[in-house]
Structure formats: structure tokens, C-alpha cells
Chain A
């Protein structure tokens, strides 16, 4: 069965960087795109960007494009999301989500990674 397993919760200081991993199993990683979505406490879901598992092409939200890098390691079936220049407003749960091949929705989600930015 399809599973997306993310790395564990972290506490970061303002100005630092974070890198969250998302290990996929149960399907051919290179056939699907992986997206990243975050959710600040009590707030809406916010799309950050995506990477194609096969060709590695990326697209970022304009809101994050100066601070985010999404990458993947096909040999490990793992996607990564790096966010730089952290501030308190980046405190959130970060999710990876697999995009369905024929439609623009997400059929599987990781369990989420809580990132707390605090001095």
C-alpha cells in the first residue's frame, strides 16, 4: 500500500534552515509528483511547491520561491523540502502529498512534520 513517511518534529531558531524528508513506498516514485503543503496552527492549508519524481522539475509558490528548495533522491524514493531564513511565522505542520496522475488533487499524504521556530 502507498505510504509517505516524514521525518520527525524539530525545533529551530530564527534564521536557521529546515529540511524535511518524505520517504515514499508502495508505488513507483518516479511516476508521480510530490507536493509540499504546510499548515500553521489553526490556519488554512498552504501550498508550497512540487517536484516531479521522474525528471526532477520543480515549481514553487511565489510566496516561498526565494526561500524554498524541493529535491528528491530517486534511489531512496524520498523527497525533501528545505526552507531557509526561518521566522516565527514558519511554525507549522509540513506535509508531503502525492499528486494523483490524471488530476490535480492529492491522493496520499504524509503524517506531517511539526516545525517550531523559537528563540
Chain B
């Protein structure tokens, strides 16, 4: 079955750039979406369709998808960005939604 692989954790200093990856086979044919989940809260989308941002999401959040890897990039990281981040795709072959394992972003 299709699997999405994320690093369990990423650490970054305030003001630096965080990059969170999501790996999967033949990713180029799929749209990847990214969610931020703060402790005790429901997830919220920060990037959709590989690189688009919903209204209200800062430009510091950007996404890309190439080959077998999608990347969420957070520029000028702030303490408030500390959260779990999940990638998500729709697996059309099985009509199933898949989530990555999640990456805990720590701002040190």
C-alpha cells in the first residue's frame, strides 16, 4: 500500500528556515497538502495542492513537490510555529486519503 514518510522531528532556531519533507512513490502525479497541528488543537491546512496557501496563512509557509519528495518550507521561523506537521494526499488508485506520520517542529 502507498506510504508517506516524514522525519519524526525537525529542530530550527528562531529566524532560520525549516524544511519538512514527505516522501512517497511517484509523488509528482499527486497533489500534496500540509497541515499544522498545535497541541490540543485540530489540524489546520497551511499549504494545499503542493504550493498554494489558504487565505490567512503567512507567506513564510511555502511548499514544493518534485519527483518522490514534497517539502514544506517555513521561513523566518517563529516560536509560534512549533507544532506537528502532517502531509496528506489522495490515493486515487484506492480512493483513500493518506497522512504522513507527522513531523514535530521544535523551535530551539
Contact = CB atoms under 8 A, between A and B. Distances in A.
Interface of A: 35, 37, 44-47, 50, 59, 61-62, 95, 100, 103-107, 109-112
Contacts of B37: 45
29 contacts: A35-B97, A37-B99, A44-B86, A45-B86, A45-B99, A45-B102, A46-B99, A47-B99, A50-B97, A59-B96, A61-B96, A62-B94, A62-B96, A103-B31, A103-B33, A103-B49, A104-B33, A104-B89, A104-B90, A105-B33, A105-B48, A105-B49, A106-B35, A107-B54, A109-B42, A109-B43, A109-B44, A110-B42, A112-B42
B24 interface: no
Interface in B62-108: 86, 88-90, 94-102
A109 to B, nearest CB: 4
Contacts of A45: 35, 37, 43, 86, 88, 99, 102
B44 A104 contact: no
B12 interface: no
A112 B96 CA distance: 21
Interface of B: 31, 33, 35, 37, 42-45, 48-49, 54, 86, 88-90, 94-102
A95 B100 contact: no
A112 B48 CA distance: 22
Greatest chain A CB density within 10 A among B31, B49, B96 is at B96
Nearest to B86: A45
Contacts of A110: 42
